[in-house]
Amino acid sequence: MKSELSYETLIRLHKALDIVESGKLDNLDVGHYDLFDGVYVNVMEYETKEEGVFESHHEYIDVHYPIEGSERIELLEEDKLEVTGQYDKTKDCVFGKGKGESFVIREKQAFVVMPGEAHIPRLKVKEIDKVKKAVVKLKIL
């Protein structure tokens, strides 16, 4: 995994964050949308849950953006993860267990997860909540 981001990746990340902050994603229906230059967004709806499994990416930055509702996300450095399976290059994902730090992401608040940061999204804050969320996926260059 790259520890430093290229200038091109940083420019694309800024552009993606500008789109998120503009509110352009707020009225999208559930689905997959291409944004620009291989950057895309998945819009989903779900109920938060009590617990989950860590996932970590090597090739993509995730920008989590709850459009409606709030959730808790847990973060842990991948090198501290108890990996439960092999890295799947086609899905850019490895899963595992561990104990990380919790963050609450509220409606209309972007939360960036970098490659190598294992995370459990979709966790309840206090009670189970319905969430509509966009996740922007940005491949590092």
Encode pLDDT of 28-48 as tens digits: 999 999 999 989 999 999 999
Strand partners, 43: 31, 134
- Number of neighbours of residue 121 by Cβ within 10 angstroms: 23
pLDDT value, residue 24: 96
pTM: 0.94
Can you list the domains of the chain with their CATH numbers? 7-139 (2.60.120.370)
Q: Which pLDDT tens digit goes with each residue over 34-89? A: 999 989 999 999 999 999 999 999 999 999 999 999 999 999 999 999 999 899 99
CA dihedral 120, 124, 126, 131 (to 10 degrees): 130
What is the chain's mean pLDDT, rounded?
A: 95
Q: What is the 3-state secondary structure (H, E, C) of 6-30?
A: CHHHHHHHHHHHHHHHHCCCCCCCC
